[in-house]
Amino acid sequence: MNYQSIKPIIPSGENFEQSLSFFKHIGFTVNWQNESISELQYENCLFLLQNFNNQEFQNNYMVSVNVENLDEFYKFLLSKNLLEMFPSVRFTEPKEMPWGIREINLIDLAGVCWHFA
């Protein structure tokens, strides 16, 4: 048996449409959607954005994404004016983590922590 792919299901938080707008703003394309779930893709990365809001769950949910060049990705995030357009979004500068990986931590609109490495 071979695993073919994996698609995490990410909660949107309280505003599904605004969360969808955020991910589109950082380059994801909507492959399909309905009122409760949407499939988003950027090159080989796929995930499902679910219209779901549970703050305790969202604040403990994490996703790890590998990017080709972390410094360029940081410049990309800065160029998108995310903090002005989506005030609840937060992200760090690239930093060396205790486990030996350089990464950017981005907290999305729902409170999910994305580890870009």
Give the residue extent of every domain in the chain. Answer: 9-116
* CA distances in angstroms from 48 to 80, 87, 96, 101, 108, listed in the order given: 22, 23, 29, 26, 14
Q: What is the pLDDT of residues 78-92, one digit of tens each?
A: 999 999 999 999 999
Look up the pTM and report it: 0.94
pLDDT of residue 38: 98
pLDDT of residue 109: 98
CATH code 3.40.718.10 for 9-116: no
pLDDT of residue 113: 98
